[in-house]
Amino acid sequence: MHWADKIAKEIIASGKYKPYWVDDMKTPSGFAHIGSMLGPVIHSAIYRALKDTGSDATLTYVFNDFDPADEFPAILEETLEGHQGEALKMVPSPDPEFKNLADFLADDLKKSIEYLGFEAKYISSWELYHQGKFDEVIRLALDNSEKIQDIYQKVSGSAKKEAGWLPFQVICEKCGKLGTTRVFGWDGEKVSYRCEPNLVTWAKGCGYEGKVSPFGGTGKLPWKVDWAAHWKVIGVTIEGAGKDHASAGGSYDIAMAICKEVFNYPEPYKFPYEFILIGGKKMSSSKGVGFKAHDLVKILPAEVARFLFVNADIGSQSNFDPIGTMAIPDLFDAYDKAWEARSRSYVLSQVGGNAAKAKGFIPPRFRDVANYLSQGLGEKEIEEKMLQKKTGLLEERIKFAKVWLENYAPDDYKFEMTEKVPEGAKKLSSEQKGYLGQVVKLFEKDIEADSLQVELYNLSKKLRIKPSDAFAAIYLAFIGKTHGPRAGVLLTNFGKEKVIDRITNILKEGDK
């Protein structure tokens, strides 16, 4: 049974989580990395699995855009210097199309996850607070600050907070910063706060001290309390978390306890999931570590990209390392195998309808397409070789195979002209050098790739040199390998000037 169906079955069998409200959250603190797509796809798969049982279900995605900005993506650091500590919704956008940084970064992620068929309704944390929907839970949190401290201590084993600690931060009325304020008093109507110069290392407070109502968006709850508060305010009954939050005594456990003991709201269905690593490394949006989510949409079709997450066992850490490996062709092979079997992973990976997916249709194998492209074949020739009619799917695979060959394929698949004369070219036999000298003459006139291929072969016969030795001379001279794509296409792509210049240099070296 697929993990999504197993979770859906457990949820329904428990009888505890109606109405089925599936939710996920993300702080838009940087350009989202590929790992940021895992949570949305996991929650989408569970939502679909619930729907497939005939159950009513809701799927939402919260952008925690009221969080304070502690650091910015490297590309934006200089532009946004001085805005650290402000709520993300108050930091200016680097793009005039958006009102603020939070909306700018959220839009970047939205486009990527929607490419994978994510179907959630989006919710802004900032708007919920400013609409007054958090007022009740804010009062509960402030009235129960001691109980919250006890939960922190009991669940995580952490030391008790300083005397007078209250679970709330306000936006400083003088400097506008959120991350630098410390609330130290609550009289049932207003909170007293100080904007501390040295409360955090990443922002400096102005020192202002004031008193303000905590309601209507003047401030927010700290992360673990805020998480539980969202569940109650929205009505969430199902929400998973990555293992960084779900470890024993972590933020997931603390939020669950606060949800039940402070907000008097039933704990949502809990399920932890493992990370997906890129090249063996954990990623970070704010620090810019790892492939960006918007990069994935450029290297994989939507359904294959979604399959990457849906097919992985969420209980085990997985690794996707596309650079210089066969990871992408292997992923396509796994997807095609699931397609032919009509497996549950295949079904849960679908984004839109496609007539080519009729039963019995055999998808064109990605690595075959890539092999033909690397040999210099054109699209029409690939259609003929693969016995495929021109379909959107074949065109799609040709498109992504080109991307793979250009950016991610192992060196064995890359046939680019070397910057310098390869070492192997210096050891060519006199017959091979003589052949190359005659190749130059073929470029005295304009010639098409197909015609050039025939001329190169005929030239080897004329000079009585083995065709294998003749073509090896070309490959060694230009790409430093003994094999490669069709030589006519290769040389045509390099262009007349580069071909003549390279052969001339090789022959000059041989004359010394």
pLDDT digits (tens, 9 = 90+) for 233-262: 999 999 999 988 878 888 999 999 999 999
Contacts of 194 (CB under 8 A, 6+ apart): 181, 182, 184, 205, 207, 208, 209
Checking if the pLDDT of 168 tops 60, the result is yes
Quick count: other Cβ atoms within 10 Å of Cβ 153?
Answer: 13
Give mean pLDDT, residues 491-500. 88
Checking if the pLDDT of 391 tops 80, the result is no
Distance CA 408, CA 419 (A): 20
The per-residue pLDDT for 289 is 39
Checking if the pLDDT of 456 tops 60, the result is yes
Distance CA 415, CA 96 (A): 42
pLDDT digits (tens, 9 = 90+) for 43-77: 999 999 999 999 999 999 999 999 999 989 888 98
Amino acid at 453: Q
Distance CA 437, CA 326 (A): 38
Give mean pLDDT, residues 369-393. 81
SS3 510: helix
Write the DSSP symbol of residue 485. S
The per-residue pLDDT for 285 is 42
The per-residue pLDDT for 356 is 47
* Average predicted confidence (pLDDT) for the chain: 91
- Map tokens 């070397």 to a residue: 418
Distance CA 329, CA 409 (A): 9
Give mean pLDDT, residues 92-108. 96
pLDDT digits (tens, 9 = 90+) for 295-306: 999 999 999 999
The per-residue pLDDT for 448 is 83
pLDDT digits (tens, 9 = 90+) for 283-297: 444 443 357 899 999
Checking if the pLDDT of 322 tops 50, the result is yes
Does residue 387 or residue 106 have the better pLDDT? 106
Checking if the pLDDT of 323 tops 50, the result is yes
The per-residue pLDDT for 380 is 84
HSE-CB of 146 using CA atoms within 13 angstroms: 2
Distance CA 251, CA 245 (A): 5
Contacts of 56 (CB under 8 A, 6+ apart): 19, 20
Does residue 246 or residue 393 have the better pLDDT? 393
The per-residue pLDDT for 284 is 46
Distance CA 413, CA 427 (A): 24
Give mean pLDDT, residues 440-454. 87
Checking if the pLDDT of 11 tops 60, the result is yes
CA distances from 400 to 336, 353, 369, 491 (A): 15, 19, 10, 24
The per-residue pLDDT for 360 is 57
Checking if the pLDDT of 154 tops 50, the result is yes
Give mean pLDDT, residues 215-230. 98
Checking if the pLDDT of 355 tops 60, the result is no
**Segments of 110-172 assigned E as strands:** 121-124, 169-170
Distance CA 235, CA 57 (A): 12
For residue 63, the cross-strand partners are 26, 124
CA distances from 460 to 204, 468, 469, 470, 480 (A): 75, 9, 9, 6, 20
